[in-house]
Amino acid sequence: MAESLSAYRLTIAAPGSKIRTQRTVLARSRELAQRLVMVPRGGRLTIARAGLMDELVSRVARQRRPSGRDLRSFYIELRSALRADASLPSAFRTMAPWIENALLADAVANAIDPVIIARGSDAMLDCLKGVLPLEHVERLRAAVGVGETPRVVEMLAGLSERRVKLAGRLVQALLTPAITVVGALGAAIFIATVQAPAMAQLYAAAKAKGQLPVPTQILLFAVNAVKDNPLVALAVPALLGILVWVARRAYQQYESVQDKVDHLPVLGRLLAQIRNSRMLRTLAILIDSGRSVTVALAMTERSVSHRRTRRFLHAVHETIAMQGIDFFEAASQHRDIIGDVEVRWIDLLHLGAATGSTSELLNSVADDCEQRAEAKLDVLPKLLEFAALVIAASLVGFVVIASLLPTFRLAAVLK
């Protein structure tokens, strides 16, 4: 397992055809590389070391972490493979050639190594740590132990499907206004750079009769600055990209910035609901897999990036470990750490403590958070589209007015 990864160029020749399919994979040996492709019956597989460029592209692709869509595809393939054969090693062998994410494909290839298979299902699932979410690995481990692997895979496939849909709606809500603003910016640039030179003589005539209007002076200054220094046009998007990167880093690093975002009217509530649903779902899956509440809290804390939520989970974990109280009492003691959106589910924990169904309750509250997030997503696009239209109209309107004001003055002079 300590061997380094090498790039192999796999060429598959279909039987009775001249068609050749090529694929570059990263593997620790030729045997492992062979397991990452599906060779049709009667076909021929040729394995050779890949060229430098192919190896570079493969190594770059391997750095991409599995996205929600990759996880959804993984569980759908695993579900189909388990229907044909309930054995986990056989299912992994069947689905290995169809995994698109290079990092996930490499993890599955390691899991079906004969040495790993001989050590048991725990060793196979250990190969997926760091690639799949930790709570998913632990839930699969518990399911294999009690023979419920198909049911749990079905559940994880459904969760991944819902997460992908929710993320897709969020991206769509942000993308449409962004396209509107970019389109307006392009129209404004066209009007300013193409129409302004055509009206240069009119500007000159208007200037002869008096000072140009202030909006026109600003527009001409911007156009001349870009013409004289083309790098200025490139500096603007670069500066915007830097600002976005700084804002993202600040959100990740500083709790005060996260708190300000959480207090935004619609977006803050939406992000809080999504964050809560993922946190509660992680806790529920870990508790359902047989982990104690303290272990589940510690694992969930490592998977959470929101600092205030992480601080809350750490405080609850420490209180349970030191005082020996139940989850509900510990969470109630530290409810002041988290905001109004998060505190709602704590009041329901006593029901889970009383009935012994904490994981079911957490799953139910996570479902409720997802439904509330979807409701917010029905409102957010309308607000963002309105804001984008205001920005676009202001931008294009300013350029048009700045271009036409000297014309109006010249028309008045001609009368």
46 bridge partner residues: 11
H or E element in which residue 112 lies: none
pTM score above 0.75 = no
pLDDT-based confidence at residue 2 (cuts at 50, 70, 90): very low
- Give 334-394 as a DSSP string: TTTTS-HHHHGGGGGHHHHHHHT-HHHHHHHHHHHHHHHHHHHHHHHHHHHHHHHHHHHHH
pLDDT of residue 182: 84
How many other CB atoms are found less than 10 A from the CB of residue 381?
17
Residue 362 pLDDT exceeds 70: yes
Nearest Cα residue to 196 out of 393, 398, 395, 404? 404
Dump pLDDT digits (tens) for 138-164. 888 888 877 788 888 888 888 888 888
CATH number of 68-162: 1.20.81
List Cβ neighbours of 283 (8 Å cut-off, separation of 6 or more): 296, 297, 300, 359, 362
Residue 4 pLDDT exceeds 70: no
pLDDT of residue 14: 65
Query: Could you tell me if 329 and 347 are in contact, meaning their C-beta atoms sit under 8 angstroms apart?
Result: no
Instruction: Convert 173-191 into a string of H (helix), E (strand) and C (coil).
Output: HHHHHHHHHHHHHHHHHHH
How many Cα atoms occupy the beta-carbon half-sphere of 387 within 13 Å? 11
pLDDT of residue 121: 85
- Give domain limits for the chain: 6-62, 68-162, 172-415
List Cβ neighbours of 48 (8 Å cut-off, separation of 6 or more): 8, 9, 11
pLDDT-based confidence at residue 196 (cuts at 50, 70, 90): low
Query: Could you tell me if 194 and 105 are in contact, meaning their C-beta atoms sit under 8 angstroms apart?
Result: no
Residue 59 pLDDT exceeds 70: no
Nearest Cα residue to 303 out of 104, 133, 125? 133
- Both tokens of 162, joined, read 């819902």
pLDDT of residue 1: 41
Of these ranges, 89-98, 124-133, 289-298, 311-320, the one predicted with the greatest mean pLDDT is 311-320
pLDDT over 70, % of the chain? 82
Higher pLDDT, 60 or 335: 335
Query: Could you tell me if 9 and 25 are in contact, meaning their C-beta atoms sit under 8 angstroms apart?
Result: no
- Both tokens of 256, joined, read 């005060």
Residue 41 pLDDT exceeds 80: no
Residue 205 pLDDT exceeds 70: no
